[in-house]
A and B are shown apart, each in its own frame.
With several copies, the nearest count.
Chain A
Amino acid sequence: MEAVFLSFILMLSIFLGFELISKVPATLHTPLMSGANAISGITVLGALVAAGANNSEMATWLGGASVFFAVINVVGGYMVTDRMLAMFRKKPTGGAA
C-alpha cells in the first residue's frame, strides 16, 4: 500500500511542479535553476539516515560521504541563489530615469 501512496504523491507533485514553474518569467530563470537545484539537495535526508542509523560500517561511511556532497549542494545552492536574487531587489534609486 505504501507504494500506492508514494505514487499518488509523485503524480501530484509532478503536476504541481509543472503548474508552478511554467509561470516563472525568463528574467528569473537563472535563480530558478539554482534554487531548484538547491531543493534537489533534499537527498540529504536520506544521507543523514544512512550515516546515522548505525546499520553497518560501510553504510555509515557511504552515508557520511553522501551527507558531505548533499550539504555542499544545499548550502551552496541556497547561498548562491540568494546572492543572485539580492541583485533583483527593489532599488532605492533606479539605474536611470
Chain B
Amino acid sequence: MNLSAELVNFAYIISAALFILGLKMLGHPDSARRGNLYSAVGMALAIIVTLLADSIVSFEVIALATLGGTVVGALAARLVAMTSMPEMVALFNGSGGAASLLVGWAALYDEILGTSAPSTFILITIILSILIGGVTASGSLIAYGKLSERMTTAAIVFAGQRIVNSLILVGIVGSSVMFCLEPTLGSQWFWVLLALSLVLGVMAVIPIGGADMPVVISLLNSYSGLAACAAGFAIGNNLLIVAGSLVGASGIILTNIMCKAMNRSLANVLFSGFGAAKAATKVEGEVKPIVADDAFLILEAAQSVTFVPGYGMAVAQAQHVVRELGELLEKNGAEVNFAIHPVAGRMPGHMNVLLAEANVSYEQLVEMDDINPRLPNTDVVVVIGANDVVNPAAREDENSPIYGMPIINVDHARTVFVLKRSMGSGFSGVDNPLFFKENTRMLFGDAKQSISALVAEFKS
C-alpha cells in the first residue's frame, strides 16, 4: 500500500494534534500518563504512515535499525534506576541530536546527487540541522558524563578558553559559507563543519559545573527540538517543524524556570564556570553529631516535623523509609510535611517523582515559598541528603558563589537534623555553614540506614 503525499500529510496533522493534546495533558497529574500515551500514539501513527508512503522502497536497513534502537531504548528505559533519570534523559537527548545530525547529512547526499543544484535555503537548513544536532549530541554526552560522575563534575576552565571558543565559532561560520559556495560531496569544508560542531558541544558544556547540568540538559533538549525543526525545513516535513518547535519552546521555558529558581541568569549559568567563582568565606565552627537513639527521643517529642529531601535521598533510595517514618510520626501525633525545593535533586521536580514513587500524598508536599514562613514554628526539620538547597550562605554570605539563590530556611527551625555521610559539600562544591549552627545536629551515615534506624526505634 502506497500512500500519497497528501494522505501522509493529513495523517501528520492528526499526529501533531495528538502531540499538542499530549503536552496539554502532561500538565495535570491526573491526565499526564494518558497524555504521554496520546503523544506516543501520535508518534506511532506518524511512523506508520511514513513507512507506507511511496517514497520508501527498501526496508531492510530500516527494520534492522529499528529493531536495534527499540531494544536499546526499551532496555535502558526499563533498567535505569529512578535516581539516574537525569543521566538517562541526557543520553536519550544526545541520541536525538545524533539522529538530526545524520538526517541532515543524508539529506545532503540526496540534495547534491539530485537532479537540480540545491538551493542555498535548503543548504542552510541542512547545515543548521547538522550543527545543532552535533552540538546536542556531544554536549549531551558530556552532560551525561558529569551527571553520572564518570568525569569530573567541576567546571573545566583553562586559560584562553574564550579565544578557543571564538575560533571554533569563526571556523563554523567560515566552513559553512565555503561549503554553501561550493557544495560538493567530498568537500573538506563539510568535514571541518562536522568536526567543529561536535567540538563546540564539548566546549560549551565542560566549563559548566555539575550542579548546573539540569539546566544544560533542559537547554540541550530545547536544541534537539530546534535540530528537528531545521531538519524539517531541510526535507520539507511539516510534522518535524511542529513537533520540533513544541519541544524547542518547552525546553526554553523549563530552562528559564530553573534559572529563576536559582536566581541566576541563563548567561551566568552558561558562561561563568561555577567552581571558578570567587572564594566563599571559609566556614569554621564546631560540629555537633548525634546518634539515632538521641534523634529518636527528640523526634518522639516533636509536635511538627518537616522533611527536606535532596539529592542524597535519591542516591540512598531512602524515599520509602522516609514515607514510613512520616507515617509513624503522624501516628505519634506530629504534623508532618515535606518541603520541596524546586531544584532539589538533579532535575526539576525530581523530589516529587521520588516521593510519588513512595506513595507520599500530594497534600503533604509543601513548596518552598509556603514552608519558609512556617519554619520558625517547626520543632524539627530533617534534612535528608539535601545540601545546597538549605545552605544559608545563599542568604548570608555575599561572597558565596550561590549567593542569592532562594533556599529553604531550615536554620530558622527549632532543631535541624542533617542526614548525610560526611562533611562533604553538595553539587555546587560550596561549604555549608548550616552544619555548624547552634541548633543543627549531624546524623552521619547513609540516609536510608539512618532513617531505617529511626523507624526501627519507633516500632520497638
Interface residues of A in 45-82 (CB under 8 A from B): 45-56, 58-82
Neighbouring A residues of B243 by C-beta, 8 Å: 39-40, 42
Contacts of B348 in A (CB 8 A): 26, 29-30, 33
CA distance A45 to B46 in the complex (A): 7
Which residue of B has the minimal Cβ distance to A94?
B361
The distance in angstroms between the C-alpha atoms of A36 and B221, with both chains bound, is: 8
Q: How many A-B residue pairs have CB under 8 A?
A: 416
Assess whether A43 is in contact with B96, with CB atoms less than 8 Å apart: yes
CB distance B26 to A37 under 8 Å?
Answer: no
Which B residue's beta carbon lies closest to that of A45?
B50
Q: Are A71 and B65 in contact (CB under 8 A)?
A: yes
Q: Which of A23, A24, A71 contacts B73 (CB 8 A)?
A: A71
With contacts A35-B26, A70-B99, A95-B360 taken as known, whether A76 is within 8 angstroms of B92 at the C-beta atoms is yes
Chain B residues near A9 (CB, 8 Å)?
238, 241-242
A26's partner among B40, B47, B239, B257 (CB-CB below 8 A) is B257
Contact A5 B238 (CB under 8 A): yes
* Most chain B C-beta atoms within 10 Å of own C-beta, residue among A26, A82, A97: A26
Chain A residue contacts of B364, Cβ below 8 A = 95-96
Does the CB pair A40–B225 fall under 8 Å?
yes
Across the interface, name the chain A residue whose C-beta is closest to B58: A54
**Docked CA distance A53–B241 (Å):** 21
B24 touches A20 (CB 8 A): yes
Given contacts A21-B254, A58-B109, contact A53 B46 (CB under 8 A): no
Of the residues B92, B250, B365, contact of A77 by C-beta under 8 Å: B92
A79 to B88, alpha carbons, bound, how many Å? 12
CA distance in complex: A88, B19 (Å): 20
**Cβ-defined contact, B238 with A4, below 8 A:** yes
State the interface size on chain A (CB cutoff 8 A).
93
Q: Is the CB of B92 within 8 A of A14?
A: no
| Nearest A residue (CB) for B105 | A62
Query: Which residues 419-457 of B have a CB within 8 angstroms of A?
Result: none
Which residues of B have CB within 8 Å of A97?
Answer: 330
Kindly list chain A residues whose C-beta atoms are within 8 Å of the C-beta of B80. Answer: 80
A34 to B244: give the CA distance in the assembly, Å.
14
Once bound together, how far apart are the Cα atoms of A6 and B12, in whole Å? 13
Establish whether residues A65 and B241, one from each chain, have CB atoms under 8 Å apart when the complex forms.
no
Chain B: which residue is nearest A96 at the CB level? B327
**Which among A14, A37, A52 is the interface contact of B224 at CB below 8 angstroms?**
A37
Would A73 and B95 count as touching, CB distance under 8 A? yes
> Whole-angstrom distance from the CB of A10 to the nearest CB of chain B?
5
Of B93, B227, B254, the residue contacting A32 (CB under 8 A) is B254
Contact present for B57 and A54 (CB under 8 Å): yes
Quick one: which of A1, A11, A43, A87 contacts B99, CB cutoff 8 A?
A43
Please give the distance in Å from A81's CB to the nearest CB on chain B: 5
| B237 contacts partner chain A, Cβ-Cβ < 8 Å | yes
Is the beta-carbon distance between B235 and A27 smaller than 8 angstroms? Answer: no
| Closest chain A CB from B39 CB (angstroms) | 6
Query: What 1/0 mask marks residues of chain B from 241 to 258 whose CB sits below 8 Å from any chain A CB?
Result: 111111111110110010
- Determine if B209 is an interface residue (Cβ-Cβ < 8 Å): no
Specify which chain B residues have a CB less than 8 angstroms from the CB of A65 in the assembled complex: 65, 98, 102
Does B170 interact with chain A (Cβ within 8 Å)? no
Residues of B with C-beta under 8 A to A46: 100, 103, 107, 231-232, 234-235, 237, 240
B77 CB contact (under 8 Å) in A1, A11, A66, A75: A75
Partner of A84, one of B20, B85, B239: B85
**Interchain Cβ contacts under 8 Å between A and B, 28 examples:** A6-B233, A17-B253, A20-B24, A21-B23, A32-B254, A33-B221, A39-B19, A40-B227, A42-B240, A46-B240, A47-B106, A49-B50, A50-B107, A51-B61, A59-B109, A60-B58, A64-B64, A65-B98, A69-B95, A69-B99, A70-B96, A71-B69, A76-B95, A78-B40, A80-B92, A88-B29, A96-B336, A96-B360
Q: Top 4 nearest A-B pairs by Cβ distance?
A: A71-B69, A17-B249, A66-B102, A76-B73
| Residues of chain A whose beta carbon lies under 8 Å from any beta carbon of chain B | 1-18, 20-56, 58-91, 94-97
- Chain B positions within 8 Å of A, measured between CB atoms, are 5-6, 9-10, 12-13, 16-17, 19-20, 22-24, 26-30, 32-33, 35-37, 39-40, 43, 46-47, 50-51, 53, 55-59, 61-62, 64-66, 68-70, 72-74, 76-78, 80, 82, 85, 88-89, 92-93, 95-96, 98-103, 105-107, 109-110, 113, 121, 217-218, 221, 224-225, 227-229, 231-251, 253-254, 257, 323, 326-327, 330, 336, 340, 342, 347-350, 352-353, 356-362, 364-365, 367
